Structure 1
Amino acid sequence: MIRFDDVSKRYPGGHEALKQVSFDMDRGEMVFLTGRSGAGKSTLLKLLMLSEPLNQGQILVGGRNIHRLPANKIPYYRRRIGVVFQDHQLLFDRSVYDNVALPLQIDGYDKHEAARRVRAALDKVGLLSKEKLNPMILSGGEQQRIGIARAVVNRPQILLADEPTGNLDPQLAAEIMALFEQFNQIGVSMLIASHDLSLITRLRHRILTLDHGQLIRDEHHPSRSGATAG
């Protein structure tokens, strides 16, 4: 599903964020990406989102080299990917419903189909009863759930999350991770950057560890459903 083949990324000024990183991720797999601040986690996700160019190597998604996609194919590729950020990136001049509906509006979905999908996503994250509220009045955990609903509303094949529990207390963080596992169980491939080793180790999914831009460890654990990550 996803392959990093000898990938390096150097920023202007000479900082080498990733150094010859290689790994494969299977379709439907849930993988955690960890390492200290500055290890290269966010850069790796940005390369997958096509928000940064790479300097060396190739990244294949579904067998295609995404950094060689024609410009007119990039929007279609991005529709396959949902992204969850640590800071939510919500619009506080819009309701919960309108925040989640935004990707569907951009893609030109029919109003009735969009409404069905938005309410299904909100129901999945436990916020259907709050669709008319302004996100500003909700808790940090609820705001993160809005971000997750928005990321999955167009039913992406891949979900990327960059420190999605970084601002949450341990109980809320565990609840958010349980939500991610539910989406993974219906076939969504997931790559989640997190520095919370105590939490992600308990979940027993595969863990990739970065250090100064290098992939130094690739640990496979039996998943809680009994399957083995490949």
Structure 2
Amino acid sequence: MIRFNQVSKRYESGHEALHQVDFHLKAGEMSFLTGHSGAGKSTLLKLISLMERPTEGQVFISGQNLSGVGPSQIPYMRRRMGIIFQDHQLLFDRTVFDNVALPLQISGYSPKEMARRVRAALDKVGLLSKEKQKPIMLSGGEQQRVGIARAVVNKPQILLADEPTGNLDPELSSEIMRLFEQFNDVGVTLLVASHDLSLIAKMHHRILTLKGGQIIADGFAKDPNQVEMSANVVTSHPEGV
């Protein structure tokens, strides 16, 4: 489903955010991406969602090399993905319903089908009763759930989440992760970037650990200490390369 083949990302400043990254996520797999701030997590997600392009290597989605995707094709590729941001990126002058409906409006759905899908997504995240409210009236956890509803309303094959619980307390964080597992149970492929090591270890899913732009560990952790140890491994990535 998602495959990175010797992917590097270097910016004009000379900073190398990713260095020869290799991994493969199967269809229907749920995995976590962890590492300290600046490890390359957000950059990796941006390469999958075609917000950025690799300097070297190839990124594949369902066997398609994203290097061959032109600007006019990007919106169609993104319809297969749902993206969840840490800061929600909601429109605060619109209602909850309108925020969730936005991807469907862009895709040209009829008002009837749009309403059906939006209400189904809001029901899934437990916010159907708040469809007419503005996001400013909601708690942080509720705002994040609106962002999740918006990400899944198009029934994507892939769900990408960038620090979705970064601003939430432990109870709300666990609630969000349970939602992700429910989506995974119906076949959605998930890649969740998070630095919440104790929560990740409890989930019993595959963990990819980034440090200095390289994947230094790939597997399953039985406890938070094991995840922490992986994140603190010193890599052999040369300085300035």
TM bucket (normalised to shorter chain) is over 0.9
Q: 1:44 & 1:203 partners in 2: Cα distance?
A: 22
Shift of 1:220: 3.4
Alignment length, in residue pairs?
A: 222
Find the counterpart in structure 2 of residue 4 from structure 1: 4
Find the counterpart in structure 2 of residue 43 from structure 1: 43
The answer to whether structure 1 residue 82 and structure 2 residue 104 are counterparts is no
Q: 1:165 & 1:124 partners in 2: Cα distance?
A: 18
Shift of 1:68: 1.5
SS at match of 1:90: coil
Extract structure 1 runs of 4+ deviating beyond 3 A: none
Q: 2:53 & 2:32 partners in 1: Cα distance?
A: 23
SS at match of 1:19: strand
User: One-letter code of the match for 1:60?
Assistant: F
SS at match of 1:208: strand
Identity of aligned residues (%): 68
SS at match of 1:4: strand
Shift of 1:74: 1.6
Shift of 1:73: 2.0
The answer to whether structure 1 residue 148 and structure 2 residue 140 are counterparts is no
User: One-letter code of the match for 1:196?
Assistant: D
Per-residue Cα deviation, 1:28-86 (whole angstroms, up to 9, x for no partner)? 00000000000000000000111111110000110000122133322110100000000
Shift of 1:157: 0.3
Is the 1:50–1:67 contact (alpha carbons within 8 Å) kept by the matching residues of 2? Answer: no
Is the 2:201–2:221 contact (alpha carbons within 8 Å) kept by the matching residues of 1? Answer: no
Q: TM-score, normalised by structure 2?
A: 0.91
User: One-letter code of the match for 1:137?
Assistant: M
Q: 1:156 & 1:69 partners in 2: Cα distance?
A: 18
Find the counterpart in structure 1 of residue 63 from structure 2: 63
Q: 2:8 & 2:68 partners in 1: Cα distance?
A: 16
User: One-letter code of the match for 1:217?
Assistant: A
SS at match of 1:43: helix
Per-residue Cα deviation, 1:8-29 (whole angstroms, up to 9, x for no partner)? 0001110000000000000000
The answer to whether structure 1 residue 171 and structure 2 residue 171 are counterparts is yes
Q: 1:21 & 1:206 partners in 2: Cα distance?
A: 16
User: One-letter code of the match for 1:50?
Assistant: L
Is the 2:117–2:153 contact (alpha carbons within 8 Å) kept by the matching residues of 1? Answer: yes
Shift of 1:142: 0.2
Q: 1:35 & 1:204 partners in 2: Cα distance?
A: 17
Per-residue Cα deviation, 1:145-165 (whole angstroms, up to 9, x for no partner)? 000000000000000000000
User: One-letter code of the match for 2:123?
Assistant: D
Is the 1:33–1:207 contact (alpha carbons within 8 Å) kept by the matching residues of 2? Answer: yes
Consecutive unaligned residues of structure 1, counting only runs of 5 or more, are 223-230
Consecutive unaligned residues of structure 2, counting only runs of 5 or more, are 223-241
The answer to whether structure 1 residue 162 and structure 2 residue 162 are counterparts is yes
Shift of 1:221: 6.3
The answer to whether structure 1 residue 133 and structure 2 residue 136 are counterparts is no
Moved more, 60-69 or 84-93: 60-69
Find the counterpart in structure 1 of residue 232 from structure 2: none
SS at match of 2:59: strand
Q: TM-score, normalised by structure 1?
A: 0.95
Q: 1:70 & 1:193 partners in 2: Cα distance?
A: 27
Q: 2:91 & 2:69 partners in 1: Cα distance?
A: 30
Q: 1:165 & 1:220 partners in 2: Cα distance?
A: 20
Is the 1:165–1:176 contact (alpha carbons within 8 Å) kept by the matching residues of 2? Answer: yes
Once the two structures are superposed, the pairs formed by residues 203-214 of structure 1 within 5 Å of their partners are 203-214=203-214
Q: 2:129 & 2:28 partners in 1: Cα distance?
A: 30
Q: CA RMSD in A?
A: 1.0
